[in-house]
Amino acid sequence: MFHKIQLIFIVISLAVLNLKTATAREESQTYQAGELELTTSSGEKESAVIVNTQVDMSISGLTARVKVTQAFKNELNEFVEGQYFFPLPDMSAVDALQIKIGERKIVGEVKEKSVAKKIYQAAKISGKKASLIEQYRPNIFSNKIANIAPLETIEVTIEYQQDLIYDAASGLFIRFPMTMTPRFTPSEKLVEHFGELSQSMQNAPSQLSRHPIPQIESEDYANEVKIFVRLNSGFPVESIISDSHNITVEQQSETQFKIELSEFYQADRDFILNWKPVSGSAPRAALFEEVIQQDKYLSLMIIPPTDKPVSTQPREVIFVIDTSGSMGGESIRQARSALIQGVATLIPGDYFNIIEFNSEYSLLFNRVQPANLQTKQQAEKFIQNLKADGGTNMLPAMQAALVGALKSNRLRQVIFLTDGAISNESQLFNEITQSLKNSRLFTVGIGSAPNAFFMQRAAEFGRGTFTFINNSKNAAQKMSELFEKISQPQLSNIQLDWPDNIEVEMWPEKIADLYSGEPLWIKAKLKANQKNNGNALQTLKITGHLANRLWQSEVAFNPLNT
């Protein structure tokens, strides 16, 4: 028998989030996903026993649909309220949720936030089974479940859709987060609000202290995870690999594969899967269309030309490295290795500096210095002595990194190495948009579970790219690939020329430079106006500068549902 109860789904791209902490803090522990925290009648909190976790992915072309099912058991001898915490990828949207409690099922319905909360509270007071799902942070969600009986088993199933990431070096990439990194909040006065993207970032009261992320010790819970992937690549595949887990791959056709974990794993690290097209088979353009009511939504990917620029522009590179407490252990080792590799790629004519930060920040040089043998040796010694300790006060370091914008005719690039364990994302986003000017911001994610939401979005605002390093053994290769890519933009000053008979709302509004193998990834909402010419095909023109010459491409689409 199915029982429906209204829930709230906060989609990442339209997330509304109010957060606040009582004091500045930095946690050294890590948090693990799939925690069901039970609150007893006396107010005490205990963790429910986890039974199993299963992840089913269906990947087609450039999109993925993911279904996550986790089962828990209430071993307490009383009725309790549960709060379930789980992370999601930053480029995803939840569209289905089901709670199974014993033999009863609760199926989620989308409702406006305030309405959903009232329905949940009314159901809870009346003793009915109910569930409320909210966004806890931009990539961490929480789900409340009322009136769980003693010894009952609770099964939570969520489904979401996700955009995939294409990279020339590794092909297509998907990351399924299974851990949550603690977030540092630098001030008790911090106020932030995540509104609709079209409205940018605004300020509003916040309430983080109401919803603490639960902390668990991984050795106390087996938390076995099973992952099954059905991949329809859409093109011949050269390789399918995972840097995070051992996998088995069963090929069913030239473009279809079944993938699963080949051994037992706990849910203590993010799952990463890469598949690369056979050389020459990658599409030059891909357009995906969806009609909702009378509006059309487009996802557009354009791969830039393969022509290499004839010259390399001198660069001014500012390295920023996070040395806070959350970067301890393997993370700081990865960061040091990546930073040393980054400095090594500098060539004569380049200038650079290094900024390290935790609770405070410091600079290697008072001002940028030319890259030569002496300054590189100074930099390596400085890097080797870096240790992880203190808070993650990122804002002053970001301000210091962007101070030199517009003062140089060199190609100015800021390389930011961090796990992103902060809670004042909007404050950083505002600083980037206001101070970026002629700089480009490239974020490098360090550790097993970096804050991908912050780093991906910061790179978008910074007109740069995000690189994820999850293994110190891969740091040198990843940084080498990054610097080879950004040494000269493949395409700059990009403009999209939409037909004038169509109203367009586009994200991102400001298009980043493109680098070797990096696709142009655009989301747009189309609405035909009174000038529309029926259902005739329209053409989107894309122009940019390739070295000193004009580059142009175009793609045809139908603005209406036919």
> In sequence order, what are the beta bridge partners of 231?
59, 257
Examine the pLDDT at 224 and tell me if it is beyond 90: no
Q: Is the C-alpha dihedral spanning 535, 300, 501, 556 positive or negative?
A: negative
Cα–Cα dist 265/448, whole Å:
14
Per-residue tokens: 332: 């700081």
The arithmetic mean of pLDDT across residues 389-412, rounded, is 84
**E-assigned strand segments in 329-461:** 351-357, 361-363, 369-370, 411-418, 440-446
Cα–Cα dist 235/351, whole Å:
42
The arithmetic mean of pLDDT across residues 34-58, rounded, is 84
- Give pLDDT tens digits for 195-206: 333 333 333 333
Q: Which residue has the higher pLDDT, 470 or 455?
A: 455
- Give pLDDT tens digits for 143-157: 677 788 888 888 888
Cα–Cα dist 516/434, whole Å:
28
The arithmetic mean of pLDDT across residues 73-100, rounded, is 80
Per-residue tokens: 164: 């995939």
The answer to whether residues 494 and 520 touch, using CB atoms and an 8 Å cutoff, is yes
Examine the pLDDT at 111 and tell me if it is beyond 80: no
Examine the pLDDT at 1 and tell me if it is beyond 70: no
Quote the pTM value. 0.54
Nearest to 279 by CA among 232, 234, 239: 239
Question: pLDDT category, 476, cuts 50, 70, 90?
Answer: confident
Most confident of 104-108, 216-220, 309-313: 104-108
Greatest pairwise CA separation for the chain in angstroms? 74
Nearest to 469 by CA among 494, 491, 449: 449
Nearest to 235 by CA among 216, 257, 214: 257
Cα–Cα dist 458/416, whole Å:
10
Per-residue tokens: 303: 């791969």
SS (H, E, C) 250-280: EECCCCEEEEEECCCCECCCCEEEEEEECCC
Q: Which residues contact 38 (CB under 8 A, 6 or more apart)?
A: 45, 46, 47, 48, 74, 76, 80, 81, 82, 148
Examine the pLDDT at 137 and tell me if it is beyond 80: no
In single-letter form, the type of residue at position 153 comes to T
Angle between helices 425-435 and 452-461 (to 10 degrees): 20
Task: Give the model's pLDDT for residue 16.
Answer: 24
State percent of the chain over pLDDT 70.
69
State percent of the chain over pLDDT 90.
20
Task: Give the model's pLDDT for residue 90.
Answer: 65
Coil/strand/helix, residue 410 = coil
Task: Give the model's pLDDT for residue 112.
Answer: 57
**Cα separation values, 454 from 125, 134, 479, Å:** 37, 19, 20
The answer to whether residues 354 and 380 touch, using CB atoms and an 8 Å cutoff, is no
The answer to whether residues 491 and 514 touch, using CB atoms and an 8 Å cutoff, is yes
Count CA atoms closer than 13 A to 361's CA, side-chain side.
Answer: 21
Question: pLDDT category, 217, cuts 50, 70, 90?
Answer: very low
Question: pLDDT category, 351, cuts 50, 70, 90?
Answer: very high
Coil/strand/helix, residue 337 = helix
DSSP string for residues in 357-378: ESSSEEESSSS-EE-SHHHHHH
The arithmetic mean of pLDDT across residues 354-369, rounded, is 94
The answer to whether residues 255 and 261 touch, using CB atoms and an 8 Å cutoff, is no
In single-letter form, the type of residue at position 42 comes to S
Of 76-85, 127-136, 194-203, 351-360, the least confident: 194-203
SS (H, E, C) 70-82: EEEECCCCCCEEE
Q: Which residue has the higher pLDDT, 452 or 116?
A: 452
Examine the pLDDT at 6 and tell me if it is beyond 60: no
Per-residue tokens: 228: 């099954």
Residue 417, phi then psi, degrees to nearest 5: -100, 120
- 435: region left, alpha or beta (phi > 0 left; psi from -120 to 50 alpha): alpha
Task: Give the model's pLDDT for residue 535.
Answer: 60
Of 219-223, 302-306, 316-320, the least confident: 219-223
Indicate the average pLDDT of the chain. Answer: 75
Residue owning tokens 């309220």: 81
Angle between helices 330-344 and 475-486 (to 10 degrees): 40
Examine the pLDDT at 257 and tell me if it is beyond 90: yes
Question: Over the range 335-348, which residues count as b (16 or more CB within 10 Å of their CB) and which as e?
Answer: bbbbbbbbbebbee
> In sequence order, what are the beta bridge partners of 555?
540
Examine the pLDDT at 358 and tell me if it is beyond 80: yes
CB atoms within 10 A of CB 9: 21
**E-assigned strand segments in 74-215:** 80-87, 92-101, 104-110, 130-137, 140-148, 153-163, 165-167, 171-176, 179-180, 192-194, 201-202
Q: Is 230 exposed, middle or buried (0-12, 13-18, 19+ CB in 10 A)?
A: middle
Q: Which residue has the higher pLDDT, 210 or 468?
A: 468
Task: Give the model's pLDDT for residue 221.
Answer: 47
Q: Which residue has the higher pLDDT, 33 or 237?
A: 237
Task: Give the model's pLDDT for residue 180.
Answer: 55
The answer to whether residues 486 and 411 touch, using CB atoms and an 8 Å cutoff, is no
- Give pLDDT tens digits for 508-556: 777 888 776 667 777 888 875 545 555 677 888 888 777 667 877 777 7
CB atoms within 10 A of CB 403: 11
